[in-house]
Chains A and B, each alone.
Chain A
Amino acid sequence: MLNMLLAGFGGQGVLFAGKIVAYAGLIEDQYVSWLPSYGPEMRGGTANCSVCLSDQPIGSPLVLAPDVLIAMNLPSYDKFIDKVVPGGIAVIDSSLIDKKCERTDIHCFYVPATELAQSENLQGLANIIILGKAFGESKFASFETVEQAIHKCVPAKKQHLAEPNLRAIQLGMGL
């Protein structure tokens, strides 16, 4: 079972990263839900999505207490860091968030995803680098499944983008 919350600014690709997680669940025949925030926050404010994977039918698709939090901006970090369940994982984009978490009951990982995307020639893929780290720490599916999920989520006409996405996820996993 996985309750994941991915949060950041509109345009950083948190909804897309969440879709990869959801597809991974679908490929492994789990119950899956993906619920985005919608409305004004998508137009320049904060955006987030809840993803649930489970072997039981999913009740509320709204994740209020995530096992895994991906935070890609400060407002999201401030809003959600206290909501992570004890023993849970928080992966934080340290290029954009300079706070350090004071909680000792969760596992925090600081990934300079936005800077790495620039320096590794993976422009626009900070979301996937940080997802790679979250995947490496939580192993919500097999790597082969995640590879397949990326191919599913990259539109058919843009399959040339699958390769940099895969490179980004592996970069994140190796951090």
Chain B
Amino acid sequence: MASNQKVLMKGNEALAEAAIQAGCHHFFGYPITPQTEVAAYMSKRMPKIGGTYLQAESEVAAINMVLGAASAGVRAMTSSSSPGISLKSEGISYIAGSDLPCLIINVQRGGPGLGGIQPSQSDYWQATRAPGHGDLHILVFAPSTIQEMVDMVFDAFENADRYRMPAMILADGMLGQMMEPVVFPEKKVVTFDKESWATNGHKNQRPHNIVNSLYLQATELERKVKERFERYEVIKAKEARAEEYLVDDAELVVVAYGATSRIARSAINSARAKGVKVGLIRPQTLWPYPSAVIAKAAQTAKAFLTVEMSMGQMVDDVRLAVNGKAPVSFFGHTGGVIPTPAEVLSEIEKLTGGDR
């Protein structure tokens, strides 16, 4: 694909193409709506570039193939939607426990259980709190446009390699299925030396590298986990990202990510046209969470409103960041129902005392 040319692409296909351009030549997946186009695109492109496309027998197999490929030091990825991500959670924990980089894409649909197939953001807790068992975090990116999906694939692979940990792109059915114009950046792919840990064969020229997540000595395991958490502190200080929109003079700050942030922005524009002082903080990373940006806004804003396609999950992180300085309320829909700009506008007006 020629770079610098604007093309119309589905979010799912753009994610796949971006991953290939970011140097990922190993994809292991399993079909599930609304994510299937990622795998379908990979199945067409990977053979042409000499890469590996493998449709595994299950999500559990696919994530463990990612573990194997990542152990060998190559950029590897898998993608799924909500129920499939639950199946992958064991493997995600093993990958984190083995200090391996990889990319996992979750194009969220309604849950719990098989749930539905329409867009949802109800895997926020899973992504940011418990992507697998044990003390662990993964990097979580939250794009809101197809262009940002592309850009974040590059960032996700890079930071996964830099910090040796899994990264996730938390999208949703709307972003996966919609098309928007997108430009593939002529980004130089940043590569990392993996010789010190990759189990990639060495003809007995160096000591063995061992990839492992099993530590039977409690003190040794504690040391490993603590080391990892020191790294997490660095990441929290350096890698949290958010976009601010009309926040400076805002009395009410809406916090929303991904598809919902687009809807919130439309509502905010309508409210501003009526003279309501409202702004938007759009977290671009969900772990690490941009708490500092929200805490700063809490010094001046009178109230916060979180808008999500869930029963209210990110609202926990907003409350932690606001730390009691202002009331934080929630508005949303779940199960695949998409909030409308008009509904969000009426919520904004309710909280700011109606039309003025």
Besides A35-B174, A35-B178, 7 other A-B contacts (C-beta < 8 A): A23-B8, A33-B178, A38-B33, A39-B117, A59-B262, A59-B341, A60-B263
The 19 sampled A-B contact pairs (Cβ below 8 Å) are A19-B8, A22-B8, A22-B179, A26-B6, A26-B181, A31-B181, A32-B181, A33-B180, A35-B177, A36-B177, A38-B177, A59-B263, A59-B341, A60-B262, A60-B266, A60-B341, A62-B338, A62-B340, A64-B340
Residues of chain B whose beta carbon lies under 8 Å from any beta carbon of chain A: 6, 8, 33-34, 117-118, 173-174, 177-181, 262-263, 265-267, 269, 338, 340-341
| A41 CB, nearest partner CB in chain B, Å | 11
Task: Mark A16-43 against chain B: 1 for CB-CB distance below 8 A, else 0.
Answer: 0001001100100001111110110000
Q: Within the assembled complex, what's the spacing in Å between the Cα atoms of A102 and B350?
A: 36
Chain A to chain B: the 6 pairs with minimum beta-carbon distance, closest first: A59-B266, A34-B179, A35-B178, A60-B263, A39-B117, A59-B262
A61 CB–B CB distance under 8 Å:
yes
What is the interface size of chain A, counting residues whose CB is below 8 A from a CB of the partner? 19
Query: Which single residue of chain A is at the shortest CB-CB distance from B266?
Result: A59
A-B residue pair count with CB separations less than 8 angstroms: 60
Closest CB of chain A to B20's CB: distance in Å?
A: 20
A34 to B269, CA, bound (A): 22
Q: Take A38-B33, A39-B117, A64-B340 as given contacts and tell me if A32 and B8 are in contact as well, using a CB distance cutoff of 8 Å.
A: yes
Q: Is the CB of A59 within 8 A of B265?
A: yes
Query: B174 near A61 (CB under 8 angstroms)?
Result: yes
Q: In the complex, A26→B183 CA distance in Å?
A: 12
CB distance from A60 to the nearest CB of B (A): 5
Bound CA–CA A23/B6 (angstroms): 10
- Asked if B178 contacts A34 (CB within 8 A), the reply is yes
A residues 114-164 with Cβ under 8 Å of B? Answer: none
Q: How far is the CA of A19 from the CA of B174 in the complex (A)?
A: 16
Closest to A37 in B: B177
